[in-house]
């Protein structure tokens, strides 16, 4: 079983308390090719491209100028990202054995890096997958990555007893996975709040739940998809009546 999650816009490059392994991202040639494009972007280009403030545009321009795809240093991806998904994952609290298991069963989709393992070294950046960035491969990052992300996921699942992919990523990021090139059956998990007369998907709660689901699998060393149906953290429960074969719904009472 392989799981995928989205990255986060916010980052925390404070080193974790415990020593963790540091590995090299797999798609180095593609990262270097993308670097030749992003380092040419001016702050005003970034403001328009990502609809961000002048301050953030200046920050990310400086990040792209400092970025060096040849350097095998940085911080582990799973601890460097700092959004709602990563609050649920809480990778900084994983011990060495749990982190090693995550390295084999969890992947992070990324606009700049394509696919990351939890221990892969990353440098500070911001580049959402959905931006319309023109490269020699096309007019968007979806076209830039093509089938490369799907092929990387196929390879990551080799040797797994259960060769299914658990989609815990957003639509923006999972859209970068070429389903024609993907050889793994996909199970998508969705998380909702029961508010009495209304059942709603609340964005930040759903994001945190995706991270918690990944952490639940890591803690329990769950290597078969069916084991995720027992997910019960923070009141969530699998809903067979709301689910279909490859679309699984988890619900909890709001409040």
State pLDDT tens for residues 159-198.
999 999 999 999 999 999 999 999 999 999 999 998 877 8
Q: pLDDT exceeding 90 applies to what percent of the chain?
A: 91
Query: In whole angstroms, what is the distance from residue 241 CA to residue 71 CA?
Result: 50
Contact 149, 34 (CB under 8 A): no
Rg of the chain, C-alpha, whole Å: 18
What would the two tokens of residue 123 be? Answer: 């440098």
Query: In whole angstroms, what is the distance from residue 254 CA to residue 240 CA?
Result: 19
Residue 19 scores a pLDDT above 90: no
The pLDDT score that the predictor gives to residue 198 is 83
* Secondary structure class of 179 (helix, strand, coil): coil
The pLDDT score that the predictor gives to residue 73 is 87
State pLDDT tens for residues 203-247.
999 999 999 999 999 999 999 999 999 999 999 999 999 999 999
* Secondary structure class of 151 (helix, strand, coil): helix
Nearest to 173, CA basis, from 80, 82, 124, 111: 111
* Secondary structure class of 189 (helix, strand, coil): strand
Average pLDDT for residues 14-32, to the nearest whole number? 91
Average pLDDT for residues 63-69, to the nearest whole number? 95
Contact 122, 80 (CB under 8 A): yes
Q: Where are the domains of the chain?
A: 2-24+72-121+128-253
The pLDDT score that the predictor gives to residue 72 is 83
Query: In whole angstroms, what is the distance from residue 35 CA to residue 25 CA?
Result: 14
Average pLDDT for residues 119-135, to the nearest whole number? 96
Q: b/e string for 141-157 if b means 16 or more Cβ within 10 A?
A: bbebbeebbbbbbbebb
The band of 16, judged by pLDDT with boundaries at 50, 70 and 90, is confident
Average pLDDT for residues 29-46, to the nearest whole number? 96
Query: In whole angstroms, what is the distance from residue 255 CA to residue 250 CA?
Result: 15
Residue 109 scores a pLDDT above 90: yes
Average pLDDT for residues 145-166, to the nearest whole number? 97
DSSP 95-110: -HHHHHHHHHHEEEEE
The band of 71, judged by pLDDT with boundaries at 50, 70 and 90, is confident
Residue 161 half-sphere exposure toward CB, CA atoms < 13 A: 6
Average pLDDT for residues 144-167, to the nearest whole number? 97
As a whole number, the mean pLDDT across the chain is 95
* Secondary structure class of 152 (helix, strand, coil): helix
Residue 255 scores a pLDDT above 80: no
State pLDDT tens for residues 86-107.
999 999 999 999 999 999 999 9
């Amino acid at each position: 079983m392989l799981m995928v999650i989205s990255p986060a816009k916010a980052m925390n490059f404070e080193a974790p308390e415990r020593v963790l392994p540091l590995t090299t991202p797999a798609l180095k040639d593609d990262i270097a090719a993308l670097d030749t494009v992003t380092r040419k972007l001016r702050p005003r280009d970034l403001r328009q491209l990502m609809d961000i403030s002048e301050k953030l545009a200046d920050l990310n321009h400086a990040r792209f100028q400092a970025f060096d795809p040849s350097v095998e240093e940085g911080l582990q991806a799973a601890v460097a990202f700092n959004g709602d998904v990563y609050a649920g994952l809480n990778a900084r609290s994983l011990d060495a054995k749990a982190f090693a298991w995550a390295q084999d069963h969890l992947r992070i989709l990324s606009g700049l890096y394509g696919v990351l393992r939890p221990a892969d070294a990353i440098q500070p950046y911001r580049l959402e997958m959905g931006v319309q960035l023109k490269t020699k491969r096309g007019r968007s990052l979806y076209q830039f990555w093509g089938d490369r992300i799907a092929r990387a996921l196929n390879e990551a699942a080799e040797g797994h007893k259960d060769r299914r992919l658990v989609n815990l990523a957003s639509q923006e990021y999972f859209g970068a996975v070429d389903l024609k090139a993907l050889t793994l059956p996909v199970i998508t998990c969705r998380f909702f709040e029961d508010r009495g007369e209304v059942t709603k998907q609340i964005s930040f709660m759903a994001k945190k739940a995706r991270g918690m689901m990944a952490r639940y699998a890591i803690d329990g060393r769950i290597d078969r998809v069916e084991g995720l149906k027992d997910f019960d953290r923070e009141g969530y429960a699998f809903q067979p009546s709301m689910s279909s074969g490859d679309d699984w719904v988890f619900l909890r009472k709001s409040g």
